[in-house]
Amino acid sequence: MSILVRPPKRRLDDIEALTDQNHRRFSRGFSQGSGNSLGINGYSEADYGLLEDRLEVSRDGSRFAPRFRDLTSPSRFEESLQTQRKFSQNASIVLIGIRGTGKSSLAVMLAATYGRRLIEADRYFQQVTGRSRAAYKKEYTPPQYRRQEAIVMESMLMDHQHDCVIVCGSGDVERNGQILLREYAKTHPVIHILRDLGSIKSYLRTWDTEKVRRLLKLSGPIYRACSNFEFFNVSEKGIGDQTLGKDSQHYTQWDAEVDQRAQTSAPFLMLKRLQRDFLRFVAFATGNISELRNQLSPFPLHMQPIESRKFTYAATVPISSLLERDLDIEELESTADAFELKIDVSATPSAQLGTESNLMDGISQIVATVRRNIIVPLIYHVDRRVVSANQHTEPSRRSGASYLELVQQGLRLGPEFVTVDLSFEDSLLSQIIASKGSTKVIGHYSADQSLPKGWDDPEYFSIYERAKRLGCDMVRLTQPAASIDDNFAVERFRHQVKTLPGSQLPVIAYNSGPLGRKSCCFNPILTPVISRPLTSEAVTKELPSITIKEAQDALYSSFVLDPMQFFVFGANTTYSLSPAMHNAAFEMRGMPHTYRIHQSATLRGLNELVENPNFGGSSVSLPYKTEVIPLLHSMSPHARAIGAVNTLIPIRDLETSTDNSLDMEKSRSGPIKGLHGDNTDWIGICNCIRRGLSPANAIRPSTTGLVIGAGGMARAAIYSMIHLGVQNIFIWNRTFVNSEKLAQHYMRLNLHTLGRSGPSSNYHIHVLESLQNSWPANYKQPTIICSGIPAHRIGDQPAPNFRLPSQWIESPTGGVVVDLAYKPLNTPLMRQIRSLSHRGWVALDGLDVLPEQGFAQFELFTGCRAPRRLMRTIVLQEYKEEEQDADYDLQTRLENLDGQPM
């Protein structure tokens, strides 16, 4: 009787034949050119066992310990895996990595979000063979187990090529497993999951640090050799420790989060940022554009490619600085449009990362940590030069091989942009560009000294043409300025490229060094800038010579841009926090604009604004959000659907398209021909929902939303929910007929939203009659709730003191409640929800929404990124001065403002 259990539909002969084919294919593939052939014969039985022991680790480490000391270099794949990184939309996604890295939690998130089937190797083995791996090993000899393992793995991958998330066990990367995975990675994303040593150690319990370090060192090359992507799971403080003491195999990070929530009333959820980072990473890596849009907050600038915008900046940050000191990454990014990580080291000193000693692991960890703290695209730039620890020694040059290895490592991390140094030969660059996947390539050329004819040298044109021929998406050229005239020359060069016939690549061209600063100010896209905390290292690390503020100052003082005036227009706007918020943002960015209150008892007050040639735009407050509509020349589709406008943008040229407010010229004064209306309230609400929604409540077809009220804010709230893909939306309002009208409005609109499977209009708006009723039986309890009713007394109407009926807040995983009121801040509804935080309820209020809608408004007003942390801070500070609520501690909220990048 055969001991091998075959998965259904497959016969052992097929599998063996296939494995043989794989072996032959791989033998052929790897022997080509390199001479590093990996034939099946390259492995001995002894290797097999050794590798298994290396990676097949029981949680107490006992099985691993005896053979550990024997280990030598583990990987036989001397070529790193190079694939095109292009996949079919529904290709199954594989996660690999050692135990304790959080693979299972990440897989659950992915499967839940994408609606994919989750296949876990260990469970699959048990399903197929009827035994756990441990039981199988006890019963059979190691070669028998390995043969069975190979068969199971092969069927697990080949029978589930589409619509699955497959989590491989550590046993899956022994010999056959590696071969299968490498083959699979040609057509499927295979993601290597890493984590810091401390968190892995707390998972493996009895292991000492040295053992875990050695395991990481040995396993890293094996996992890298058979994966095409890499994701470093950055632990949130407190999560790693939570897993201690839990012995269930399936106790995941997610469970830890639920436990965590039970113990604390932390308003923001522990795994939120990991979920955001991972889902975005997967959507980008797999080239799933609609999913990527779902993952991004709907801020206007997020929807616009950087290269199509004018005067954008990349904050350049050397990895050496991040390794040397504890820098505030959010501050480094602040108002930049991109974050450029410059790889300027050749080894990662272990002490600085605290854990990893390997450069590739170090880069992976730094990139993940940077991503955790930024919202802008990442540019991964490997500097050809390497800084030396000794400041007096000249930087050394990297070899082509080491350069290639580092850029390939970058591509594994799925950055939005990667640079390729055009001083390397075509063959090396083509290799990189062929495997770029969704990443855009910037061809980079930095001359050590000015070319003989400076920017008029024909060499620059040939470098540009070469970058184009190689398939770069953008070109970046720079040389040190020898004289101030070089700055005029570079402008000429940029202009000449732009006027070449045919379509041309976007060009970034500037002079480096203090003399070149002028050219940096006028370079239109992705000008490299230095962030204030790095200025002391500018010279030694060859960093850019200007800050964003300096570059912006120059544009205004040279009359390229004009100072503009902005307003908040309403009947009673004296209480508004918007002036303080926007003025602080202008000042930080080096913009000479002003933002003031413009109060008027009638709509006519608007005339005064449009007669002002420096009018830049206005926020619209009550009661004019709907009244203003007939006066508009155009409206965004969002404002049209909601039926309310809270942002006005002046139109100075009726010829330009007004579909998108960002396409209109910004910061240029002149007569006004019309007004364009937009709405950012829905963006503020949408973003607060996203921030407060725990991974356990990820939006699915069964998710239910509830909106309280039927006024302007309720309209925006429903629109946000539809946009987020909520299909079952309920309205409760004191006046029933108003709820019905609102429901009919959205049902008639039949909006198309970006659902998981592409655009759909599959939503339904229901009306609830009485707060006394039980929750409708056919629907899940709501997990997303928005209240748009004022909380204060209006005229002789008393404050409504609204609280949700207890029978409507029975969701077992809690949910998020956004109360749009902030007068008072601590409404009875917010108090009710905060008291339920132990059940997973998260409360966000009007002071959370106001800055979020303000960021979007700032983008529409200026075409530039808003300084988010600053605007959030100002709103809380100003509010504190205006109103005191003894019950509510705004100070703690102010102190916890970091880490909300969405």
Window contacting ligand DQA (CB under 6 A); options: 94-102, 237-245, 391-399, 576-584: 576-584
Any idea which residue has 């969701």 for tokens?
A: 811
Length of the chain: 902
Cβ proximity to ligand DQA: between 493 and 567 the closer is 567
Question: Tokens at residue 724, please?
Answer: 């987020």
Amino acid (one-letter) located at 241: D
Taking CB under 6 A as the rule, which mask of x and - marks residues 294-333 in contact with ligand DQA? ----------------------------------------
Report the nearest approach of ligand DQA to the CB of residue 246 (Å). Answer: 46
Instruction: Give the N- to C-terminal CA distance of the chain in Å, as an integer.
Output: 59
Report the nearest approach of ligand DQA to the CB of residue 577 (Å). Answer: 6
- Nearest CA to 319 out of 256, 399, 406 is that of 406
Dihedral class, residue 155 (left if φ above 0, else alpha if ψ from -120 to 50, else beta): alpha
Across-strand partners of 209? none
Cβ proximity to ligand DQA: between 841 and 879 the closer is 879
Question: Tokens at residue 606, please?
Answer: 């608007």
Q: Rounded to an integer, what distance in angstroms lies between the CA atom of residue 319 and that of residue 380? A: 10
Window contacting ligand DQA (CB under 6 A); options: 12-20, 70-78, 215-223, 567-575: 567-575
Cβ proximity to ligand DQA: between 435 and 618 the closer is 618
Judged by CB under 6 A, the residue of 153, 185, 193, 568 near ligand DQA is 568
Helices (H) and strands (E) in the chain, counts: 34, 29
Report the nearest approach of ligand DQA to the CB of residue 647 (Å). Answer: 6
Cβ proximity to ligand DQA: between 212 and 860 the closer is 860
Backbone phi, psi, residue 396, to 5°: -95, 165
Report the nearest approach of ligand DQA to the CB of residue 343 (Å). Answer: 42
Question: Which residues from 587-626 bind ligand DQA, rule CB under 6 A?
Answer: 619, 621
Cβ proximity to ligand DQA: between 381 and 715 the closer is 715
Any idea which residue has 């240029």 for tokens?
A: 668
Across-strand partners of 620? 569
Contact by Cβ (8 Å): 22, 154: no
Judged by CB under 6 A, the residue of 172, 361, 681, 859 near ligand DQA is 681
Report the nearest approach of ligand DQA to the CB of residue 857 (Å). Answer: 6
Report the nearest approach of ligand DQA to the CB of residue 684 (Å). Answer: 8
- Nearest CA to 399 out of 410, 409, 386, 418 is that of 386
Window contacting ligand DQA (CB under 6 A); options: 76-84, 199-207, 492-500, 568-576: 568-576
Question: Which residues from 635-664 bind ligand DQA, rule CB under 6 A?
Answer: 646
Contact by Cβ (8 Å): 686, 820: no
Report the nearest approach of ligand DQA to the CB of residue 618 (Å). Answer: 9
Judged by CB under 6 A, the residue of 275, 348, 853, 900 near ligand DQA is 853
Backbone phi, psi, residue 316, to 5°: -90, 125
Window contacting ligand DQA (CB under 6 A); options: 527-535, 574-582, 632-640, 664-672: 574-582
Window contacting ligand DQA (CB under 6 A); options: 188-196, 346-354, 573-581, 770-778: 573-581
Cβ proximity to ligand DQA: between 112 and 645 the closer is 645
- Nearest CA to 101 out of 351, 274, 329 is that of 274
Cβ proximity to ligand DQA: between 544 and 570 the closer is 570
E strand residue ranges, 73-210: 93-96, 117-120, 164-167, 190-195
Question: Which residues from 402-421 bind ligand DQA, rule CB under 6 A?
Answer: none
Q: CA separation (Å) from 784 to 213, 275, 516, 708? A: 43, 18, 52, 11
77-104 burial string, b = 16+ CB within 10 Å, else e?
beebbebebebeeebbbbbbbbbbbbbb
Contact by Cβ (8 Å): 546, 520: yes
Report the nearest approach of ligand DQA to the CB of residue 569 (Å). Answer: 8
Judged by CB under 6 A, the residue of 155, 479, 573, 727 near ligand DQA is 573
In angstroms, how far is CA 518 from the centroid of its own chain?
Answer: 33
Site size for ligand DQA (CB under 6 A): 12
Report the nearest approach of ligand DQA to the CB of residue 207 (Å). Answer: 54
Please, which residues have CB within 8 angstroms of residue 708's CB and are 6 or more apart in sequence?
Answer: 714, 731, 732, 733, 785, 786, 787, 788, 789, 802, 804
- Nearest CA to 817 out of 680, 692, 717 is that of 692
Window contacting ligand DQA (CB under 6 A); options: 29-37, 100-108, 145-153, 566-574: 566-574
Q: Is 576 in the site for ligand DQA (CB under 6 A)?
A: yes
Window contacting ligand DQA (CB under 6 A); options: 235-243, 267-275, 572-580, 601-609: 572-580
Q: Rounded to an integer, what distance in angstroms lies between the CA atom of residue 679 and that of residue 677? A: 7
Window contacting ligand DQA (CB under 6 A); options: 357-365, 570-578, 753-761, 782-790: 570-578
Report the nearest approach of ligand DQA to the CB of residue 690 (Å). Answer: 18
Across-strand partners of 794? 797
Report the nearest approach of ligand DQA to the CB of residue 723 (Å). Answer: 17
Cβ proximity to ligand DQA: between 114 and 567 the closer is 567
Question: Which residues from 491-510 bind ligand DQA, rule CB under 6 A?
Answer: none
Cβ proximity to ligand DQA: between 242 and 619 the closer is 619
Report the nearest approach of ligand DQA to the CB of residue 833 (Å). Answer: 22
Q: CA separation (Å) from 704 to 283, 427, 788? A: 25, 54, 17
Q: Is 253 in the site for ligand DQA (CB under 6 A)?
A: no
Cβ proximity to ligand DQA: between 54 and 723 the closer is 723
Q: Is 578 in the site for ligand DQA (CB under 6 A)?
A: yes
Alpha helices, H only, 140-208: 142-158, 175-184, 197-204
Please, which residues have CB within 8 angstroms of residue 393's CB and are 6 or more apart in sequence?
Answer: none
- Nearest CA to 203 out of 122, 275, 98 is that of 98
Window contacting ligand DQA (CB under 6 A); options: 317-325, 427-435, 544-552, 575-583: 575-583
Question: Tokens at residue 384, please?
Answer: 């050809």
Angle at 780 between CA 715 and CA 109, to 5 degrees: 90
Contact by Cβ (8 Å): 470, 438: no
Report the nearest approach of ligand DQA to the CB of residue 869 (Å). Answer: 19
Cβ proximity to ligand DQA: between 419 and 621 the closer is 621
Window contacting ligand DQA (CB under 6 A); options: 90-98, 332-340, 414-422, 565-573: 565-573
What is the contact surface with ligand DQA in residues (CB under 6 A)? 568, 570, 573, 576-578, 619, 621, 646, 681, 853, 857
